[in-house]
C-alpha cells in the first residue's frame, strides 16, 4: 500500500510588508507566528520555515524557531533575497529598486551570499540547513550546483508550467526563470539541466515542485480569460493559476486543487505562504485583523483535509522518504586538489551583525508581481 501523500507547509520567512518597499525592514511579524505553528501542530503538520537574512537576525524569531526545533515540530530552511543579503556588491544602478535575481550575479558572489546566509542560519539556530527556496523563484544550473555543494538536499523553487521570464530583475538581464516544461512531481535534479531528472539517480539535490496548475476553467475554456466581457467573471470565478496559497478568499480553489492532487496520487502537496501575511497590515493580502481571521478560517478547513488524507512532514523529511537517504548534517568540505572554488569556503560562524532591524540604502521590497495578481497570486520571495 502506498504511503499517504505528504503535506508540506512552506513559509517564506521574511520582513514585514516588503511589497511596500520599506527603507527600514521590520520583523514584527515574528510575534504572530506562534498561532500559525500551533494550528499546524494541532493538525499534525510540520512547517518548513524558509528564512531570509533579516529574520535570521530577529531575536523574537530566534526564540520561536529554537523552541519549534527543540520539540521536533518544524524545520529551518534557506531563503535568499539577493539584493539585501550580504555581501552587498552593486549589480545595477539601484539594486533595491530593481531587485536583481541571484542568478544574475557573478557565480563567485552567488556562492558568497549562499555561504554567508547558511553560516548565519546554522550558527543562530544550531541546526543543519538542508532545504531551500529561491528568492523570486529564480533557479538555474549554477545555483543548483552551489546549493548541492553546500549541503542543500531539497529545493522547492520550481513552479511547474509557469514562467517568470517577463518579470524583470536587473535591467540588462533576461528576466526570471521559465519553468514551462518542468516536471510536476519530485525528481533528482540533473545539475547541468535542471528541467530534467538525473538519469544516474545519484544527484544529491531533490526538486520538490510547488503544487500549482491551471484551473479547470482555464483548461476547458482558456479564451474566457481574454474576452473583454467574460474575463472579469472568469478571474473572479477561478484564477487562471491555482496554488495552495490562501488569501482568505480562495478556499474553493484550494479545495479543488487539493482534491485533484490527491486523486492524481501526487506524492506530496506543497502549501506556500509568507510569514508577513500572518500579521494584520503585513501584506496587501492581510490589511487588517478581519482578513487574518478569514485566512485562519480557511486554513482550518484546508489543514483539516490534510490531517485526514495526508501526512505532515518537513521538506527534509520528505526528501529522506523520497530518496531513502539517512539524515545527514550538511558537509563542510575541503576542496579536492586542483578543484576550482567559486567563492569562500563555508565559515564556521558569520561575522557579527546587528540584531532585529535591517536598514537599506534604498527601497527594499517584495519581489515584482505579475501583471495580473490572479495569474500567480504573487511572486513569492
The DSSP line for 181-213 is: T--SS-EEEETTEEEEE-TTS--S-EE----EE
Residue 152: is its pLDDT beyond 70?
Answer: yes
Q: What local confidence, expressed as pLDDT, does residue 53 receive?
A: 97
- 249 versus 346: which is more confidently predicted? 249
Residues 6 and 268: beta-carbon distance below 8 Å: yes
Give the β-pairing of 212-214 and 268-274.
unpaired
* Architecture (CATH level 2) of domain 6-211+266-369: Alpha-Beta Barrel (3.20)
Q: Domain ranges in the chain?
A: 6-211+266-369
Distance CA 259, CA 4 (A): 14
Angle between helix axes 33-42 and 289-309 (nearest 10 degrees) is 20
pTM of the full predicted structure?
Answer: 0.85
Instruction: Give the mean model confidence (pLDDT) for residues 45-54.
Output: 98
Structure confidence at residue 206 as a pLDDT band (50, 70, 90): very high
User: What's the count of helices (H) and strands (E) in the chain, helices before strands?
Assistant: 12, 14
SS3 content of the chain, % helix, strand, coil (to 5): 40, 15, 45
- Output the DSSP codes for 30-79: GGGHHHHHHHHHHTT---EEEE-HHHHT-HHHHHHHHHHHHTT--EEEEE
**Residues contacting residue 325 through CB under 8 Å, at least 6 positions apart:** 153, 319
- 351 versus 155: which is more confidently predicted? 155
Distance CA 7, CA 23 (A): 36
Q: What local confidence, expressed as pLDDT, does residue 19 receive?
A: 85
Structure confidence at residue 1 as a pLDDT band (50, 70, 90): low
Could you read off the pLDDT of 155-182 as tens digits, one per residue?
Answer: 999 999 999 999 999 998 989 999 999 9
| Weakest-pLDDT range from 133-142, 162-171, 294-303, 320-329 | 320-329
Residues 4 and 266: beta-carbon distance below 8 Å: no
Residue 363: is its pLDDT beyond 50?
Answer: no
Residues 363 and 22: beta-carbon distance below 8 Å: yes
**CA contacts within 13 A on the Cβ side of 261:** 32
Amino acid at each position: 500500500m502506498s504511503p499517504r501523500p505528504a503535506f508540506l507547509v512552506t513559509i517564506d520567512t521574511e520582513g514585514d510588508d516588503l511589497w511596500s518597499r520599506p527603507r527600514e525592514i521590520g520583523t514584527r511579524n515574528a510575534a504572530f507566528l506562534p498561532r500559525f505553528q500551533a494550528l499546524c501542530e494541532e493538525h499534525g503538520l510540520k512547517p518548513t520555515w524558509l528564512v531570509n537574512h533579516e529574520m535570521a537576525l530577529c531575536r523574537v524569531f530566534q526564540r520561536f524557531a529554537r523552541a519549534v526545533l527543540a520539540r521536533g515540530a518544524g524545520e529551518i530552511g534557506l531563503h535568499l533575497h539577493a539584493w539585501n543579503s550580504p555581501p552587498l556588491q552593486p549589480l545595477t544602478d539601484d539594486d533595491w529598486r530593481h531587485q536583481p535575481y541571484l542568478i544574475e550575479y557573478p557565480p563567485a558572489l552567488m556562492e558568497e551570499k549562499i555561504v554567508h546566509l547558511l553560516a548565519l542560519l546554522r550558527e543562530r539556530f544550531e541546526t543543519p540547513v538542508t532545504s531551500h527556496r529561491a528568492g523570486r523563484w529564480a533557479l538555474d544550473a549554477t545555483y543548483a550546483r552551489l546549493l548541492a555543494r553546500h549541503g542543500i538536499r531539497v529545493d522547492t523553487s520550481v513552479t511547474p508550467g509557469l514562467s517568470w521570464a517577463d518579470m524583470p530583475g536587473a535591467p540588462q538581464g533576461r528576466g526570471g526563470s521559465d519553468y514551462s516544461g518542468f516536471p510536476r512531481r519530485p525528481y533528482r535534479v540533473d545539475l547541468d539541466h535542471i528541467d530534467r531528472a538525473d538519469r544516474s539517480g545519484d544527484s544529491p539535490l531533490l526538486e520538490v515542485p510547488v503544487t500549482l496548475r491551471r484551473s479547470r476553467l482555464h483548461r476547458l475554456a482558456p479564451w474566457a480569460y481574454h474576452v473583454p466581457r467574460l474575463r472579469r467573471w472568469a478571474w473572479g470565478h477561478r484564477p487562471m493559476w491555482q496554488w495552495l496559497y490562501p488569501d482568505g478568499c480562495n478556499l474553493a480553489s484550494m479545495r479543488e486543487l487539493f482534491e485533484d492532487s490527491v486523486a492524481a496520487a501526487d506524492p506530496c502537496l506543497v502549501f506556500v505562504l509568507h510569514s508577513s501575511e500572518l500579521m494584520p497590515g503585513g501584506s496587501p493580502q492581510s490589511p487588517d485583523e478581519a482578513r487574518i481571521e478569514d485566512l485562519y478560517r480557511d486554513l482550518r478547513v484546508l489543514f483539516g483535509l490534510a490531517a485526514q488524507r495526508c501526512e505532515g512532514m518537513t521538506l527534509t523529511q520528505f526528501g529522506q522518504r523520497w530518496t531513502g537517504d539517512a539524515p545527514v548534517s550538511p558537509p563542510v568540505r575541503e576542496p579536492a586538489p586542483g578543484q576550482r572554488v567559486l567563492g569562500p569556503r563555508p565559515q564556521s560562524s558569520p561575522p557579527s551583525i546587528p540584531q532585529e532591524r535591517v536598514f537599506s540604502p534604498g527601497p527594499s521590497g517584495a519581489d515584482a508581481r505579475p501583471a495580473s495578481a490572479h495569474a500567480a497570486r504573487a511572486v513569492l520571495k
